[in-house]
Amino acid sequence: MKLEEIKSRLQNYIPTHGNIKIMEVCGTHTSSIFKNGIRGLLADGIKLVSGPGCPVCVTPPSVIDALVSLSREAEVLSFGDMFRVPGNRLSLAEARAQGGRVRLMYSPFEVLSLAREQPETQFILAAVGFETTAPVYAALLDALAAEGLRNVRFYTALKTMPEVLEYICANEEVSAFLCPGHVSAVIGSAVYEPLCKKYQKPFVIAGFEPEYILAAVYEIISQVETGHYAVRNLYPSVVSENGQAKALSLLDKYFEKTDSFWRGIGLIKNSGLRIKDEYARFSANKKASSEGSGDEATAGEKAPPPLCRCTDVMLGRISPDECVLFGRECTPQHPVGACMVSAEGACGIWRGGK
């Protein structure tokens, strides 16, 4: 079907089974949808909502607390979008201003040359992300083990996508999922099959150009109308059925599943990755926990700031601009909630396009 015909059908769509709420999980999809005005091309009966696809947004305060604590005894390396995420007491930026040793990194592999040049310095990597970035940390672990470098450890807050999607299927009113393209490139399309079968919802994988997203939305409404639900991969040039074998093999070598705490959502069973015990010398998590700075799988979460609705945004209950703080008290320059801190967060994307 030609693009113009798809656009016409989506603009004039009249739902016969109730309104359709489609969750796009990936921040890159959210950005493309916003920048290309895709919501304005859809009929009122089709609603696109954002999901918990920003790793910075779902990182709990206890992780920040642990990294702040570790910065007093080691040099913590973190991507820049983690710097302003609030912990229970301080952000990494505030910790650095108070003398904590926090370094901005552009690539985790920067630590290799630092570790070689400064063997007396202990380095801690803030390993935050989903299945997209987890293989990078696994490859770095491979390199560290091969070189015998022992002055680098990881504080891991790595999360996995299928488990949080199941949580949303079980607890939220979402009709279908526009699956995360980058994550799907690693884990493959087959992982969504059990969810599709169990919850009878469409799971469609698409690229990030507007025409691919519109094709995915059309595929979803077609499935809803017919009542025949399936996993459809509309991004076959990048996503295969079984994912990237080498990346998955590296993950399996160094990591294992663990329960994980998601900011604004709570504890989700088996939704995280931890370094295996045989490579425990590379993990900073246990040490941080024993010092009382927080275990991200069990620690409580402070109440969100008054009127902040990041939880509702991440679970697709509301759009960012339905929060009364959005664009007023809460801006990228002065974020109140985690969804506005990161450029990958739904609120940050919506505000950046205003």
Report the sign of the C-alpha dihedral through residues 214, 319, 349, 341, in that order: negative
Whole-model pTM: value is 0.91
Q: Looking at residue 352, what is its pLDDT?
A: 74
Sheet of strand 255-262, all strands in order from the earlier edge strand to the far edge: 102-104, 75-78, 123-129, 152-159, 266-275, 255-262
- Residue 256 placed within a domain: yes
Which region among 105-119, 134-148, 249-263, 294-308 has the lowest average model confidence (pLDDT)? 294-308
- Residue 101 placed within a domain: yes
Q: Looking at residue 51, what is its pLDDT?
A: 94
Q: Looking at residue 132, what is its pLDDT?
A: 95
- What share of the chain has pLDDT > 70, as a percent? 95
On average, the pLDDT of the chain sits at 91
DSSP 187-204: H-SGGGHHHHHHHT--EE
Q: How far is CA 326 from the centre of its chain?
A: 21
Q: Looking at residue 89, what is its pLDDT?
A: 87
pLDDT in tens, 19-39: 999 999 999 999 999 999 999
Going by C-alpha positions, the residue among 54, 3, 38, 23 that lies closest to residue 353 is 38
List 117's β-bridge partners, or say none.
none
pLDDT in tens, 104-136: 999 999 999 999 999 999 999 999 999 999 999
Domain containing 90 equals 61-161+243-290
Tokens of 26: 């990936």
* Residue 291 · residue 71 · CB < 8 Å: no
Beta strands 203-205 and 102-104: pairing type?
Answer: unpaired
> Does residue 286 surpass a pLDDT of 60?
yes
Amino acid identity, position 150? R
State the burial class of residue 2 (Cβ atoms within 10 Å of its Cβ: 0-12, 13-18, 19+): exposed
Q: Which helix (H) or strand (E) holds 231?
A: strand 231-233
Q: Provide the pLDDT confidence category of residue 298 given band limits of 50, 70 and 90.
A: very low
Q: Looking at residue 292, what is its pLDDT?
A: 37
- Residue 185 placed within a domain: no
Tokens of 14: 């009249």
> Does residue 287 surpass a pLDDT of 60?
no
Q: Is 262 helix (H, G, I), strand (E, B) or coil?
A: strand
How far is the C-alpha of 104 from the C-alpha of 241, rounded, in Å? 36
> What spatial distance separates the first Cα and last Cα of the chain, rounded to whole Å?
33
Q: Which helix (H) or strand (E) holds 212?
A: helix 210-226
Total domains present in the chain? 1
- Residue 263 placed within a domain: yes
Q: Is 215 helix (H, G, I), strand (E, B) or coil?
A: helix
Q: Looking at residue 291, what is its pLDDT?
A: 38
* Buried/exposed code over 186-225 (b: 16+ C-beta within 10 A; e: otherwise): bbbbebbeebbeebebbbbbbbbebebbbbbbbbbbebbe
Domain harbouring 262, CATH code: 3.40.50.11740
Going by C-alpha positions, the residue among 64, 88, 61, 90 that lies closest to residue 78 is 64
Instruction: Report, as an integer, the average pLDDT of 81-102.
Output: 91
How far is the C-alpha of 98 from the C-alpha of 220, rounded, in Å? 51
- Residue 88 placed within a domain: yes
Q: Looking at residue 175, what is its pLDDT?
A: 96
- Residue 77 placed within a domain: yes
Q: Looking at residue 333, what is its pLDDT?
A: 82
- Residue 40 placed within a domain: no
* Residues of the chain by 3-state class (helix, strand, coil), percent to 5: 40, 20, 40
Q: Looking at residue 334, what is its pLDDT?
A: 84
Tokens 């950046």 appear where? 352
Instruction: Report, as an integer, the average pLDDT of 138-154.
Output: 96
Instruction: Report, as an integer, the average pLDDT of 202-210.
Output: 96
Q: Looking at residue 17, what is its pLDDT?
A: 79
- Residue 254 placed within a domain: yes
Beta strands 20-24 and 123-129: pairing type?
Answer: unpaired
Q: Looking at residue 301, what is its pLDDT?
A: 63
Instruction: Report, as an integer, the average pLDDT of 280-297.
Output: 62
